[in-house]
Amino acid sequence: MQRNNGKLFFVSFLMLFMELFLIRWISTEVRIFAYVSNLVLLACFLGVGAGCYLAKKEANIFITLAMLVLIALSVKCLPFIYITDMLGGFADSIIWFQFQEGSLIVSLQGVVLTIYLFLMILVAFIPLGQILGSLLDNHRNIIAAYSINIIGSLIGIWVFSLLSFYYTPPWMWLLSALVMLFFFIPRSKLYMTVFAAASVLCLLVTGTHNPGRTLLWSPYQKLEVRPSTYKGVQNGYLITVNSVSYMSATNLSREFLQGHPSFYDPDILRYNPYEIPYLFHNTPDRVLIVGAGAGNDIAGALRNKAREIDAVEIDPGIHALGAQLHPEKPYQNPRVHTVIDDARAYFKKTTKKYDLIVFGLLDSHTLSSQYNNMRLDHYVYTEESFQEARKLLKDDGILVVSFAAQKDWIGVRLNGVLKKVFNEVPYTFATVLPAEGSLWGSLMFITGNNPAKIKQWVEARPELRDYVRKNAFQCSGSVQLISDDWPYLYIEAPSIPRMYLLIIMALAVLFIAAYRLMGSAGEGGINWHFFFLGAAFMLLEFQNVSKSALLFGSTWMVNAYIISAILVLILLANICAYYFQIKNTLPVYTILLASVLMVYFIPLDIFNNFGYPAKSILVSLIINIPIFFAGLIFITSFSNAASRDTAFGSNLMGAALGGLLEPLSFVMGIKALLLVVLLLYALSYLFSAQNRRQLI
């Protein structure tokens, strides 16, 4: 019995660790997986769920090993590298660095490759699901067994988070997973030799990278650095994020430019995004830069004699590269105070007032969490975010936003949000960024607390006035403005983009085929009670992660705490179920539905009136109440399930459906998903009687 408990803990730990490892790695190498409802997470859930259905058959861990080898080979092959290009060319949504609209045939090819990779991830988790399902089904104390499963998952989260904190690369994550998989293979010389050979191949493929670049895996993304040269002279460094050109650390110091006068056109140097903010304000005393990146914006502020600069950057890896490599060494200047944090979190924490707030190029390439489809920058450009930033401006303070808008409707959207917040149309015009001799285009938006004074300032400077007019961005048409409830900056209108629809439809067909296959193979039907419990819980978890990101920031540490808090609440629910032996779940369902409605109607803004410690406690108590009661219902039903492996598999299948339902927020907003949660929990109650009879 004790040995089985250890095995249960070990396989639970391994599954969660592998899940996080594959989400981070594949979503980085094949970027489409980072943008479409986190497909890797859904594949993991479906794989474990399918494995639970097959728990009565012997698990073959070499299937997992074989799939890891195939995945490692695939993500390094050209067809898979270009999946993002195949699917990223639709006009109704934006993926960074996709400039051409693709044909339907090319998009379908991308869908086929995506589903192929999705299936490999799914199959990799089937043997682990078989082991888990068998251990749960044969355990004498199911509450204790499920608690061990949760504890193993909880520790898996923090071990992987610790590895990410220390900037470890994917080959180390894979090595850790392989070491754990080794304990599940049969002890024979042949098996161990095959395992060792396959592991070495997998590690060699995973560890390869461009030899001409310095590689750094931050807690958020893959960063690659190479020297930037122009006309045979090094003028800084270029940084790619997740294999896409993203930022530079460019030397624009007076001394360097005087020594190389032919590098850039004088107008480009005078009117680039790092200099323009200071043409609108005469030597600001205090400047806030959010999205400080490698330091170009900070260097611009220092060149223009800003007396005090607060530089906020969420990614410590990018900050480290900027501090080490930027030619002008802006992070070392005593006038600069660096804050490693999320921009929204900083807006809520600081009490300072600024003459100038600069939003650097914050557009993101990564999700804020493994459990939702929100990018890191989604909450930075909403109406509420700009309102918070406005409160930090002095009476005549100026706000500047730089953004590389790939579509005109993004420029129209940001212009509209700023107009709504500041009650005045912002100055909106095109700029260029000098880097390695090439010119990167972006839009700049300038507004402030005293628009009349800004206008007077511009009109009094003919050169500035003419430049702004000449490069003015024409805001034509109307678009949906973004808010904290609908923060989807990169989606043109409230709808499910075609890219998402193609993949969702393909997955739906796959799900139906798998369901029919299991039925014809005699594996039993789905336990719909657990299926709907899983779907509702997944959407509820998405809500909690999104709300917590709004209140505390989208940092990796906050996300680890959020998921950990959810698992701890499930453990508390298990303890309550053990001691109180609930016979009738109807009262618990009633409290659950009431608590979901309470979360729906309570505005998040009220929590910002409290200090950080008080807010943490209140948020944990209020928005997580439904999690506790949902956990109580699950463990009570699970204890009474006739077939626990099928019940657990159905729950994970339902969680995958919940993941597929997340894009409904693109249409109805995030808050309205709680109404879907209510419906799903109501359906789970209607099917609860099924838990007490033979499966259909």
Cβ–Cβ contacts within 10 Å for residue 499, how many? Answer: 24
Q: How confident is the model at residue 34 (pLDDT cuts 50, 70, 90)?
A: confident
Output the six-digit token pair for 38. 């986190």
Residues 551 and 658 in one domain: yes
Burial of 162 (0-12, 13-18, 19+ CB in 10 A): exposed
Q: Is residue 229 part of a domain?
A: no
Residue 691's contacts (CB-CB under 8 Å, 6 or more residues apart) are 527, 529, 530, 637, 640, 641, 642, 647
Q: What is the DSSP letter of 102?
A: P
Q: How confident is the model at residue 300 (pLDDT cuts 50, 70, 90)?
A: very high
> Are 529 and 643 spatial neighbours (Cβ–Cβ below 8 Å)?
no
Q: Is residue 239 part of a domain?
A: no
> Are 426 and 418 spatial neighbours (Cβ–Cβ below 8 Å)?
yes
Give the DSSP per-residue string, 506-554.
Answer: HHHHHHHHHHHHHHHTT-----HHHHHHHHHHHHHHHHHHHHHHHHH-S
Q: Is residue 503 part of a domain?
A: no
* Mean pLDDT within 258-280: 83
pLDDT at site 694: 41
pLDDT over 90, % of the chain? 51
Three-class DSSP category at 241? strand
CATH number at residue 316: 3.40.50.150
pLDDT at site 423: 95
Looking at 454, 470, 486, which one is the last position of a domain? Answer: 470
How many Cα atoms sit within 13 Å of 270 on the Cβ side?
8
**DSSP count for the chain of H helices, then E strands:** 28, 11
323-327: long-range contacts (C-beta < 8 A, 24 or more apart)? 323/295, 325/225, 325/236, 325/237, 325/249, 325/294, 326/236, 326/237, 326/249, 326/294, 326/295, 326/296, 326/299, 327/235, 327/236, 327/249, 327/250, 327/251, 327/253, 327/256
Cβ–Cβ contacts within 10 Å for residue 105, how many? Answer: 9
> Are 680 and 536 spatial neighbours (Cβ–Cβ below 8 Å)?
yes
**428 vs 515: CA distance, rounded Å:** 53
Q: Which DSSP helix (H) or strand (E) runs through 345?
A: helix 343-349
Residues 462 and 582 in one domain: no
Q: Is residue 511 part of a domain?
A: no
**5 vs 230: CA distance, rounded Å:** 62
Residue 680 has pLDDT above 90, yes or no: yes
pLDDT at site 556: 67
**Total tally of structural domains belonging to the chain:** 3
Q: What is the DSSP letter of 367?
A: B
* Mean pLDDT within 673-695: 82
CA angle 480–486–487, rounded 5-degree value: 95
**671 vs 521: CA distance, rounded Å:** 41
Distances (CA, A) of 287 to 1, 220, 303, 316, 384: 62, 26, 13, 21, 21
pLDDT at site 234: 87
Residues 187 and 301 in one domain: no
Residues 166 and 110 in one domain: yes
Distance, C-alpha 619 to centroid of its chain: 21
Q: How confident is the model at residue 682 (pLDDT cuts 50, 70, 90)?
A: very high
Residue 251 has pLDDT above 70, yes or no: yes
Q: Write down the mean pLDDT value for the chain.
A: 86
- Tens digit of each residue's pLDDT (9 = 90 or more) over 516-543: 766 555 455 788 999 999 999 999 988 8
Distance, C-alpha 354 to centroid of its chain: 30
**438 vs 436: CA distance, rounded Å:** 5
- Tens digit of each residue's pLDDT (9 = 90 or more) over 302-327: 999 999 999 999 999 999 999 999 99
Distance, C-alpha 338 to centroid of its chain: 24
> Are 274 and 252 spatial neighbours (Cβ–Cβ below 8 Å)?
yes
Residues 322 and 463 in one domain: yes
**16 vs 2: CA distance, rounded Å:** 22
Output the six-digit token pair for 440. 């990167």
CATH number at residue 627: 1.20.1250
Q: Is residue 486 part of a domain?
A: no
Q: How confident is the model at residue 560 (pLDDT cuts 50, 70, 90)?
A: confident
Residues 424 and 536 in one domain: no
* Mean pLDDT within 77-95: 71
* Mean pLDDT within 350-361: 94
> Are 426 and 445 spatial neighbours (Cβ–Cβ below 8 Å)?
yes
* Mean pLDDT within 380-388: 94
Q: Which DSSP helix (H) or strand (E) runs through 387?
A: helix 383-391
Indicate the residue type of 445.
Answer: F
Give φ, ψ of 612 to 5 degrees. -60, -45
Structure-model confidence comparison of residues 79 and 470, the more confident one? 470
Structure-model confidence comparison of residues 622 and 400, the more confident one? 400
Query: In terms of residue numbers, what domain contains 341?
Result: 253-364+383-470
Structure-model confidence comparison of residues 542 and 216, the more confident one? 216
Distances (CA, A) of 396 to 53, 261, 468: 65, 36, 20
pLDDT at site 455: 93
Give the DSSP per-residue string, 407-449.
Answer: SHHHHHHHHHHHHHHHTSPPEEEEEEEEETTEEEEEEEEEEES
Q: What is the DSSP letter of 101?
A: P
pLDDT at site 212: 77
Residue 477's contacts (CB-CB under 8 Å, 6 or more residues apart) are 408, 409, 412
pLDDT at site 248: 87
Looking at 436, 454, 470, which one is the last position of a domain? Answer: 470
**679 vs 683: CA distance, rounded Å:** 6
Residue 549 has pLDDT above 80, yes or no: no
* Mean pLDDT within 71-91: 77
Q: Is residue 375 part of a domain?
A: no
Q: Is residue 478 part of a domain?
A: no
> Are 312 and 362 spatial neighbours (Cβ–Cβ below 8 Å)?
no
pLDDT over 70, % of the chain? 89
Residues 149 and 269 in one domain: no
**546 vs 337: CA distance, rounded Å:** 29
Q: How many residues does the chain have?
A: 696
Residue 140's contacts (CB-CB under 8 Å, 6 or more residues apart) are 1
pLDDT at site 696: 39
pLDDT at site 517: 65
Residues 150 and 61 in one domain: yes
Q: Is residue 376 part of a domain?
A: no
Residues 556 and 463 in one domain: no
Q: What share of the chain is helix, strand, coil (3-state, %, to 5)?
A: 60, 10, 30
Q: Looking at 47-61, 99-113, 193-207, which range is the least confident one?
A: 99-113
pLDDT at site 656: 87
Residue 695 has pLDDT above 50, yes or no: no
Residues 194 and 315 in one domain: no
Looking at 156, 178, 210, which one is the last position of a domain? Answer: 210
CA-CA-CA-CA torsion sign (100, 103, 105, 110): positive
Structure-model confidence comparison of residues 386 and 514, the more confident one? 386
Residues 188 and 290 in one domain: no
pLDDT at site 406: 80
> Are 631 and 573 spatial neighbours (Cβ–Cβ below 8 Å)?
yes
**146 vs 635: CA distance, rounded Å:** 8
Instruction: Single out the residue of 153, 151, 160, 329 nearest to residue 255, CA to CA.
Output: 329
Residues 327 and 419 in one domain: yes
pLDDT at site 237: 92
